[in-house]
Amino acid sequence: MQKSGRKTRSLVTGGAGFIGSHLCERLIERGNEVVCVDNYFTGAKANIAHLIDDPYFELIRHDVTFPLYIEVDEIYNLACPASPVHYQRDPVQTTKTSVHGAINILGLAKRLKVRVLQASTSEVYGDPEVHPQTEDYQGNVNPVGPRACYDEGKRCAETLFFDYHRQHGLQIKVARIFNTYGPRMMPDDGRVVSNFIVQALHGEDITIYGDGSQTRSFCYIDDMVAGLIRLMESSGDETGPVNLGNPVETPIRDLAGQITTLVGGGASVVHQPLPADDPLQRCPDITRARKLLEWEPTVALGDGLAKTVAYFRDVL
C-alpha cells in the first residue's frame, strides 16, 4: 500500500500481542512500513521476532500511558491486556492503559491529522440482555465488579474517541472485537480456547465453568485482522462502532469436545462455579460489517482449532 508515492507508515500499539503481532505481519505483507509499540505487559518479543530483521519494521518499547512522539500515517490502537487473568492482575494499570492510553494516542493522531482505529471489545456489552448484540445496544455492565477495569475502561476509551471526532474532526474507527483465537495466544491467558488446548495437551482434566451451556462466538485470527484492516480503509465517514466476530454460537461444552477430539487422549471434564459477571451468551450481530466492509469470517471453527492446536503442540 502506497501513500503519496511512498509506503504507508502504520503505528500498531500493543503490536507484540496476540492480535497486534498478526496485524503487524499482515501490514508488512501488504507493503506498509510498520512501527510496533509495546511495553510487554502481556505482549512478547517472540511474537514479532520474525519481523525484526525486516527493513520496514521498527520495534519500540513504550507504555502508552505516557505520550509518544513519532511521525506516522495511521494508527491502530490495540494496547491493553485483554484476558481476565491479565487485566485483573493490575486493574488500575488496565484502566490507565485504556483511558490515558486513548488520550495520548488521540492526541498524537490529532497532531498528525491521521486516521486512528480503536480496538474496543464485546465486553462493552457486559452480560447482555439483548441477543445477538448489535452496535446500538448500550450494554449491561457492572461498573464496580472485578471486570470493570477492562469493560468500563474500553467504554470510556470509546467515549474519548467519539468526543475527539465531534470536537476536533478527527477521523476515527472503532472496532468491537469478539472472541478471537489462533496461534500466538498465550498459554496462561485464561481464555477458554487456550485453557482447553493446554489442559488437553498436558493430559489434564478440562475445566468448564458452570454447566457448559453458556455460548461464545469464536473468530479465527486471520479473519479478525482482515476485518480490522478493512475498517481502517473504509470510507472516512464511517466511524463505527462495528462488531467484528463470528456470528456462529458455540456452547462451551461443545468446544471442549472438539478440542479433546483434535488433541486425542482421554481428558475428562470437571465443572467449577461461574466467575462473577461472566456473560452467559456472547454473539455479535455483524450486519453492519457485512454491509459496510463486505466482511465476514471465512475460517471454520474446526479448521482454526486444528491450526491452533498445532501451534500449541510446538510451543508447549
Q: Which residues are catalytic?
A: 150
Q: Are strands 2-3 and 9-13 parallel, antiparallel or unpaired?
A: unpaired
Residue 249 gets the label, from left (phi > 0), alpha (psi -120 to 50) or beta, of: beta
Task: Find residue 207's DSSP bridge partners.
Answer: 270
| Total Cβ atoms within 10 A of residue 119 | 27
Question: Are 141 and 148 contacting, i.e. CB atoms less than 8 angstroms apart?
Answer: yes
Q: Phi and psi of 124, rounded to 5°? A: -65, -20
Residue holding cell 463505527?
240
Say if residue 291 is exposed, middle or buried (CB neighbours under 10 Å; 0-12, 13-18, 19+).
exposed
CA 311, CA 202: separation in Å to the nearest integer?
Answer: 14
